[in-house]
Amino acid sequence: MSERVVIITTGGTIAMVTDPVTGASIPAQEANRHVANVKGLKEIARIEHIEFSNIPSPYINSSTMWNLSRLVSKTLEIEDVAGVVITHGTDTLEETAYFLDLTVDSEKPIVCTAAMRNIDEMGTDGPRNVLSSVRVVMNPIARNMGTMVCLNDEIHAARDVTKTYTSNVATFDSPGHGPLGIVDDDVVIFFRKPLLRAVFNVERIEDRVALVKTFTGDDGLILHSLPELGYRGVVLESFGRGNVPVEVFHVVKYLIEEKKIPVVITSRCFKGRVLGVYGYIGGGKSLAEIGAIFAQELSSTKARIKLMVIMGITDCRDDIERLFRLTLKGV
């Protein structure tokens, strides 16, 4: 057992207990250390614990993700480190995982995990999730898989996974894609590899990227206010294949042509690609013609993360579109 697995704890429900007075879930002192001392870990690998933070995941921001990415990159450069497990709150886990997938350039596996139940609740899922995640890291097939998410004995690609249930332990799923594999007791089984990955070597990110969801009757005033609020990029969650109300179309045109702000189009549907199919004003084809960038099948939250990273490299609209389409397998 020569290789180490480093468990980096950030907080979240997995490191919370129930307040005996209020009944609310709150961060607990020393809880992160408990996570790293789960029974059975030492039989799988040598474990090292780094406490990065102990905060609820809604407190995670772009600066937190950037600092975590730098720590993970530095940790994986150590020769005898097999990989990293990161514990995190479930609310924003999918965003942090995808940020790491885009910004950490390493063959070694990164596995993010969490819990839906406090460590003092009946049936707490945290210890099992940590144990399964370490098993994934130690599996040789996990190399070159990028960042993965492992909960409830399922392994998901960071690009695809999302939280689907507010309270159930079986909350994480990859709609339209399915899991990469499973952990069956002490056996890790992979079904497929993530092919649509990209890694960007960036020195900075652009955190002034907005995410706006259009709606029936949307007059575009929210979008129109973004330049005055200091936003430099926007992800617009549209209808269906990538369609918006006509009033919103005109604001998108204004943002792209007059304010030179990149606008990335996603869909409120959780399966399928956005594409310039419909030619009416506000249809996807009309948006493509004025320079809107289509995020393919990325979710809105993932598209925002990717735009933040890419705008750390360039603010040129054509380059942003090219990099949005880039994968490790080519364009």
- For the chain, domain boundaries: 4-190, 209-325
**Euclidean distance between CA atoms 197 and 35, whole angstroms:** 30
| pLDDT tens string 188-230 | 999 999 988 999 999 999 999 999 999 999 999 999 999 999 9
Tell me the average pLDDT across 101-109: 97
Residue whose tokens read 């879930």: 25
Model confidence band, residue 2 (pLDDT cutoffs 50, 70, 90): confident
Identify the pLDDT of residue 30.
72
Residue predicted with more confidence, 32 or 39: 39
**Residue 26 confidence (pLDDT) above 90:** no
Can 4-190 and 209-325 be said to share one CATH topology? yes
Model confidence band, residue 328 (pLDDT cutoffs 50, 70, 90): low
Residue predicted with more confidence, 27 or 313: 313
Report the alpha-carbon angle 266-145-177, nearest 5: 40
**Residue 34 confidence (pLDDT) above 50:** yes
Closest to 152 (Cα-Cα) out of 115, 104, 100: 115
Identify the pLDDT of residue 182.
98
**Euclidean distance between CA atoms 171 and 168, whole angstroms:** 5
Pick 209-325's CATH classification: 3.40.50.40, 3.10.20.600, 3.40.50.300, 3.40.190.10.
3.40.50.40
Identify the pLDDT of residue 326.
82
**Residue 263 confidence (pLDDT) above 70:** yes
Identify the pLDDT of residue 331.
37
Pick 4-190's CATH classification: 3.40.50.1170, 3.30.413.10, 3.90.226.10, 3.40.1390.30.
3.40.50.1170
Identify the pLDDT of residue 298.
96
What are the beta bridge partners of residue 85?
7, 111
Which residues have a Cβ under 8 Å from the Cβ of 125 and sit 6 or more positions away?
115, 116, 117, 151, 152, 169
Averaged pLDDT score across all residues of the chain = 95
Which residues in 275-293 are b (16+ Cβ under 10 Å) and which e? bbebeeebbbbbbbeebbb
If DSSP codes are grouped into helix, strand and coil, which group holds residue 27?
strand
**Residue 236 confidence (pLDDT) above 90:** yes
- Provide the percentage of residues in the chain whose pLDDT is more than 70: 98
Closest to 67 (Cα-Cα) out of 35, 39, 100: 100
Identify the pLDDT of residue 1.
63
**Residue 8 confidence (pLDDT) above 50:** yes
- Mark whether 90 is an active-site residue: no
**Residue 110 confidence (pLDDT) above 60:** yes
Tell me the average pLDDT across 25-42: 83
Model confidence band, residue 35 (pLDDT cutoffs 50, 70, 90): confident
User: Beta strands 154-157 and 181-184: pairing type?
Assistant: antiparallel
Got the DSSP string for 61-109? Answer: -HHHHHHHHHHHHHHHTSTTEEEEEEE--STTHHHHHHHHHHH---SS-
- Catalytic member of 9, 10, 13, 103: 13
Identify the pLDDT of residue 330.
42
E strand residue ranges, the chain = 4-9, 16-18, 25-27, 46-51, 81-87, 110-113, 147-151, 154-157, 162-163, 172-173, 181-184, 187-190, 209-213, 233-238, 263-267, 293-294
- In whole angstroms, how far apart are CA 47 and each of 4, 10, 161, 305? 6, 16, 26, 30
H or E element that contains 286: helix 284-289
Residue predicted with more confidence, 140 or 26: 140
Residue 229 burial (CB count, 10 A)? 9
